Amino acid sequence: MSNNEQNDETIYLVVVNHEEQYSIWPKWKQELPLGWKSVGKEGIKTECLAYIEEVWTDMRPLSLRKAMQESSN
């Protein structure tokens, strides 16, 4: 981790898209990118990334997971 990252006190939002892929977005930016919504978790970068690591257990996009499930039935 770089010095800049260690000293980063920016507050981030954890966001998710329609494919259930997670990311972080600086809270000070007024609008989220199109297609993304907040999951209600915010904090410094390391906190948000730890949260994402905990909840995002399947990296495959939702559409792929659904297609794979349908083909197995």
* pLDDT by 10s per residue, the chain, length 73: 565 666 789 999 999 999 999 999 999 998 999 999 999 999 999 999 999 999 999 988 888 888 888 888 7
DSSP 8-state secondary structure symbol assigned to residue 27? T
pLDDT at residue number 65: 86
- With CA atoms as reference, report the closest residue to 22 among 63, 53, 65: 53
Cα–Cα distance measured from residue 1 to residue 3, given in angstroms and rounded to the nearest whole number: 7
List the one residue out of 38, 16, 37, 13 whose CA is nearest residue 27.
13
Domains of the chain: 12-71 (3.90.820.10)
CB 17 within 8 A of CB 61: no
Distance of CA 8 to the CA centre of its chain: 18
Q: Model-level pTM?
A: 0.82
